[in-house]
Amino acid sequence: MTTTAAPSDSGNDRIKLSTLHIENADADDLRHRKFKSARGGADTALALFSDVDEISQPHDPAEEKELIRKIDWMILPYLSVCYVFFYLDKTTLSYAAIFGISEDLHLVGNEYSWLSSIFYFGFMIWALPTNLLMQRYPIGKYLSINIIAWGILLMLQAAATNFASLAALRALSGAAEACADPAFMIITVMWYTRREQPIRIGLWYTSLGLGIAGGGLLGYGIGQIRHVLPSWKYEFLIVGALCSAWGVVMFFLLPDSPVTAPVLSLKQRKMAVERLRENQTGVENKQFKLYQMVEAVTDVKVFLFFMIALLQAMVNGGITNFGTLIVKGFGYSTLGTNLLQIPYGAFISFVILA
């Protein structure tokens, strides 16, 4: 009778270990292959990592604090100054109004009101295309080019001779500014975690009040100029020139994303990306996904935010374009009206910070 010896326990253990090793190797290989295939159409941040094992590496909290300070100095000053010009660009017409633009251009009836509205017509028409372009091109460069365009269009408004020419330039200015708020939000989300975003948004949004106060102070200074040109033309020329100059500065100094920031080392760029994992939003993706747009427009929360923005803008638009005329209507001089914008803007900044 022939008997077959059963495999020893040690033999079974070796078989199990070999099988486990093969399964783990296959799983690791699958993870690596999936990672490599995902890099082609996924978030641009994956370009920093050559291997899936590099992701989720622990980092020193002290190094992260140093990185956050560096990011703050690298991003917030540019966004803050930019937001000053974002507000000044919209309100320059209201300062020009108290310097006599309506009389010089022979505006009648509701033409001044239409000049205020036409700006936002251009804004609305170009809002969707400019957001698509922001996704396609480096956002720092795209925002900077639009800021330069704000300034150029603002300076050209000084050459307007009638309602039609000024209306056309106002519409183009609105289109150029349509990228501003979305770009500021995208840049903030691109660099900061959810916990860090509110205070950073509050810091650059404080510049809204600084823009009002600065516009009043600038208007007071322009009112002192005695030359061949009307004061309202200097308003457009000076604000426009400053705006374009700042756009040039931003073009060369504002980084497009943590992935390509030249002032960060490779280690810091990887850390800047890895720390944003908790956001679950990625850093930047160049592909338009229709299902995401459908999801957004059918989201009740998006509709509620839309209504909040709409109601807020209805009030803000009137104050922005008619505030100086209302104050002057109380009997204040042109220069006095400009100076009264300073405490108004300072109070807004205080409330935002508080």
Model confidence pLDDT, tens digit, residues 122-140? 999 999 999 999 989 999 9
173 in a domain, yes or no?
yes
50 in a domain, yes or no?
no
16 in a domain, yes or no?
no
Least confident of 20-24, 114-118, 233-237: 20-24
**Domain encompassing residue 321:** 61-353
> Alpha carbon 251 to chain centroid distance?
14
On whether the CB atoms of residues 56 and 180 are closer than 8 A, the answer is no
Q: ∠ CA 141-145-151 to the nearest 5 degrees?
A: 145
- Distance (Å, rounded) from C-alpha 345 to C-alpha 95? 14
| Summary mean pLDDT of the chain | 85
The backbone torsions φ and ψ at residue 314, rounded to the nearest 5 degrees and listed phi first, read -60, -40
- Distance (Å, rounded) from C-alpha 236 to C-alpha 322? 17
Domain count, the chain: 1
Residue position matching structure tokens 């505030």: 323
114 in a domain, yes or no?
yes
Q: 266 pLDDT exceeds 80? A: yes
Mean pLDDT score, 70-99: 93
CATH of the domain at 307: 1.20.1250.20
Model pTM score: 0.82
Tens of pLDDT, residues 18-45:
444 434 444 444 444 444 444 444 556 6
| Amino acid, res. 120 | Y
Burial class of residue 123, CB neighbours in 10 A (0-12, 13-18, 19+): buried
- From 235, 242, 225, 244, select the one nearest 324 (Cα to Cα): 235
- From 314, 316, 113, select the one nearest 209 (Cα to Cα): 316
98 in a domain, yes or no?
yes
Write the DSSP symbol of residue 228: S
53 in a domain, yes or no?
no
- Distance (Å, rounded) from C-alpha 123 to C-alpha 106? 26
38 in a domain, yes or no?
no
122 in a domain, yes or no?
yes
